[in-house]
Amino acid sequence: MIAFWVLAPIMVAAALGMVMARKAVHSALLLAIIMVSLAVLYAVQDAPFLFVVQIIVYTGAILMLFLFVLMLVGVDASDSIVETIRGQRLAAVVLGVLFGATIALGITQTSVGVIAGLDEANAEGNVPGIAVLLFSKYVFAFEVTSALLITAALGAMVLAHQERLTPKMTQRRVAERRMQDYAESGKPLGPLPTPGVYARHNAVDTPALLPDGSTSTVSISRSLQARGNIRQALVGEVDDTLEQITEDTKTRSTTGNLAPDRSADQGGPQ
Amino acid sequence: MSATPFLTLSALLFTIGAVGVLVRRNAIVVFMCVELMLNATNLAFVTFARVHGNLDGQIAAFFVMVVAAAEVVVGLAIITSIFRTRRSASVDDASLLKY
């Protein structure tokens, strides 16, 4: 009974949090708390088989499926606060309180009589007891369950299946398209220029400098361009670098000692 | 160990799940609330199995789990296919039959 009084408040709080949580991932994690607590309550009530099945099937399989779908659908797909039906939320809460009060009242008013306990039924162990029942009295339901599971698996496969709308891009098709582009628009056949080769830095966010001093826009990855993470390498900057390097070489030649190589971290034109 | 607290907790969880189904708009969260309701009934089944002293209640809970697993698989597949076509997981957006 201690387990019950410890777990029951946690479960109710987690359930309320699950309903009220803004983000679906939080709801899923709170549902995991409820399910593990329920498994413990099954173990307390002489149902070790259901304890294990609850943890494996619910917390292990179903909840992970929920999380997978949440990741597919997008974690930040949160609810809109706008009510489509006016007063729906209030009405739902009032109805829920009335419903809960009715059931709770009904349960507390009735007496369940003497609790027989499962000591006799579990005499040969819980799992053999369940197996005997499952394969004698409930064998038909058990067999129908297999049909249900197969239907569900097939249904999920059909629903989640996606036809390919465009033919697969093979290496041959890529090469053909490249040649076609070259014939039509003169797009260069070779690979795009690498970033920053003739620029001040040789980082990937620095555009390559063309021989006339302008920057080549195609040398930067498109995702960097979209994020606006391009480092500007201006013509003046190159001149500054050139001046610094010439000063460096002058001082080095006059003093004669090997000063720390500053051209490495300035990455001058190579 | 009396049965009434367990049954009350089961009723409470069922109610919270039902309110969640009515209140929430995200289809996945609605699904989680349905799962909560199924779990609450499972708790009642297991409790009544103990009250009556036989394992039939536990078998019922076991079958509920199997059906819930099948239901979740199909339901989540439906949600993903709806999301793929409509880019939304809200139950209010799938309202074409209304008009």
pLDDT truncated to tens, each residue of chain A (270 aa)?
Answer: 889 999 999 999 999 999 998 888 999 999 999 999 999 999 999 999 999 999 999 898 899 999 998 888 876 655 666 677 788 889 999 999 999 999 989 998 888 778 888 888 888 889 999 999 999 999 999 999 999 999 999 999 998 888 888 888 889 988 898 899 889 888 878 777 777 655 566 677 777 777 777 777 787 888 888 887 777 655 566 667 677 777 777 776 665 544 444 444 444 444
| Main-chain dihedrals φ then ψ at residue A135, nearest 5 degrees | -100, 10
- Kindly report the nearest CA distance between residue A202 and chain B, in angstroms: 41
Q: Is residue A208 helix, strand or coil?
A: strand
Between chains, do B55 and A130 touch, taking CB under 8 Å as contact? yes
Nearest-by-Cβ selection for B72 from A62, A112, A130: A62
The C-alpha atoms of residue A17 and residue A29 are separated, in whole angstroms, by 10
What was the pLDDT predicted at A187?
A: 80
Give B-chain residues touching A50 at CB under 8 angstroms: 42, 46, 58, 61-62, 65
What was the pLDDT predicted at A195?
A: 74
Nearest-by-Cβ selection for A133 from B59, B88, B89: B59
Between chains, do A35 and B17 touch, taking CB under 8 Å as contact? no
Between chains, do B32 and A118 touch, taking CB under 8 Å as contact? no
Does any CB of chain A come closer than 8 Å to the CB of residue B64? Answer: no
Residues making up chain B, counted from first to last: 99
| Main-chain dihedrals φ then ψ at residue A168, nearest 5 degrees | -65, 140
Burial of A225 (0-12, 13-18, 19+ CB in 10 A): middle
The C-alpha atoms of residue A117 and residue A245 are separated, in whole angstroms, by 91
Q: Are A134 and A142 in contact (CB under 8 A)?
A: yes
Helices (H), A218-261: 222-227, 235-255
Does any CB of chain B come closer than 8 Å to the CB of residue A228? Answer: no
The C-alpha atoms of residue B34 and residue B29 are separated, in whole angstroms, by 9
Between chains, do A160 and B81 touch, taking CB under 8 Å as contact? yes
Q: Tell me how far CA of residue B99 lies from CA of B17, B93, B94, B96, in angstroms.
A: 30, 12, 11, 6
Nearest chain B residue to A5 by CA distance is: B5
pLDDT digits (tens, 9 = 90+) for B42-98: 999 999 999 998 899 999 999 999 999 999 999 999 988 888 888 777 887 777 787
Residues making up chain A, counted from first to last: 270
- Whole-prediction pTM value? 0.73
What was the pLDDT predicted at A91?
A: 92
Between chains, do B77 and A159 touch, taking CB under 8 Å as contact? yes
What was the pLDDT predicted at A85?
A: 77
Check: complex ipTM more than 0.90 = yes
Give B-chain residues touching A100 at CB under 8 angstroms: 11-12, 15-16
Burial of A70 (0-12, 13-18, 19+ CB in 10 A): buried
CATH number 1.20.120.1200 given to A1-73: yes
- Kindly report the nearest CA distance between residue B53 and chain A, in angstroms: 5
Tell me which long-range contacts A150-159 makes (C-beta under 8 A, separation of at least 24): A151/B70, A152/B69, A152/B70, A152/B71, A152/B73, A152/B74, A153/B73, A155/B73, A155/B74, A155/B77, A156/B73, A156/B74, A156/B76, A156/B77, A159/B74, A159/B77, A159/B78, A159/B80, A159/B81
Q: Tell me how far CA of residue A267 lies from CA of A35, A176, A229, A270, B72, in angstroms.
A: 59, 39, 19, 8, 58
DSSP tag of A108 = H
- Kindly report the nearest CA distance between residue B43 and chain A, in angstroms: 7
CB pairs under 8 A between A and B: 234
- Kindly report the nearest CA distance between residue B47 and chain A, in angstroms: 7
pLDDT digits (tens, 9 = 90+) for B1-57: 788 999 999 999 999 999 999 998 888 999 999 999 999 999 999 999 999 988 999
Q: What are the residue boundaries of the structural domains of chain A, listed by start?
A: 1-73, 194-254
How is residue A7 written in tokens? 């777990």
